[in-house]
A and B are shown apart, each in its own frame.
Chain A
Amino acid sequence: MTEHDHDHERTIAPMVDEVTDFEVLEIALRELCIEKGIFTAEEHRRFTEFAEQIGPAPAAHLVARAWLDPDFKALALAEPMTASKEVGVDWLEPTGFGTPSDFTAFEILEDTPELHHVIVCALCSCYPRPILGNSPEWYRTPNYRRRLVRWPRQVLAEFGLNLSDDIAIRVQDSNQKHRFMVMPVRPEGTDGWDEDQLAAIVTRDCLIGVALPKPGVTSNVITDTRPAVHPVDGRNT
């Protein structure tokens, strides 16, 4: 066999070097469920597509529209799922009764100059996925879940949000079927802005409550993490 017997250019390389245990189990579980009729392959595809198209943009537009239109704001606070439809989110999708894990009991928490809300799910990672997309990784960590309910001001300070003592903090633990989202106060310096301009500064983090919208800031918080202390070798690396 010579080196010209096959075409290196056309050799298909594997996408990944190895398949993880998690992937093996995922395939086993999915194929068994389909085989036994627990769900169909078509249903699995539809849920995957649903999970891939959700994101925080509808929630940001809901807030921006509420800032611009007092009637819409009143609707958003009184009937949040009706208001969600106006930004393209039907909470009854994708099954006709909502998603099995997010339910259909959505509520919007309105901040005021004297009150700031922040959400958490101390029991797991409950999050208003249909309108806000998938939860950030840090939101699911035991660290955030354990500390936010006890030391909210310190946790918010780590996100760069330092609130004075004359602003009350209200932590909302989503431990049952309600899902919550924060409607922040419209910031100064946004006079005359249209819905798209306003929606651009309402980031996912603002809707969770770990950040406040700010003109010029259109991306999520990047925190300065302190380096870990390693007492064993005495290094601060």
Chain B
Amino acid sequence: FHGDGSRIERNDHHIRAVGKGDPQVFAGRAGEPGFRTGDPVVVRDMPALLYTRTPEYVRGATGEIASVAYESPAAEDETWDRPDAQPEWFYVVRFRLSDLWCGYAGPATDTLQTELPERWLEPAA
């Protein structure tokens, strides 16, 4: 066992992903994406105790889906290595900077894109 990583349990993910890559190893496991490119969405303001990758600055903001990115378990589950984590769709979401920041001084065409898993999004009214 000395110096041999073959029996380390947490290497399983790596072994599954060889030849595919990550997030490609999760392809086909999230079902139909709930949003399409161009859809207006609002970022939900969910509790984020201990860990999240959804930046505070987009909570509650309205943006639009710039692209449907890939399938993957959410970082909020992966970070704790949850074995039953269900992959979900990720989206690149585009926001106008003037919608994110009160008093944004640049032109209205300035934007910011960030990537969010489906659980954090709901359709904009």
Contacts and interface: CB of A to CB of B under 8 A. Distances in A.
A88 B16 CA distance: 25
Interface in B95-124: 97, 100-101, 105-107, 109-117
Interface string A19-42: 000000000000000110111110
A37 B54 CA distance: 35
Given A168-B107, A171-B112, A176-B75, A97 B19 contact: yes
Interface string A164-181: 011011111111111000
Interface size class of A (residues with CB under 8 A): 35 or more
A149 interface: yes
A171 B25 CA distance: 28
A105 B72 CA distance: 11
Contact of A35 (B2, B14, B107, B112): B2
Nearest to A150: B101
Would you call the interface of chain A mostly helix, strand, loop, or mixed?
A: loop
B24 A173 contact: no
A104 interface: yes
Interface stretch (B4-12, B33-41, B42-50): B4-12
A170 B109 CA distance: 9
Given A105-B70, A165-B106, A173-B113, A97 B55 contact: no
Nearest to B115: A176
**A-B interface, 7 closest residue pairs, ranked by CB to CB distance from nearest:** A104-B21, A97-B17, A168-B109, A96-B18, A176-B115, A173-B114, A171-B112
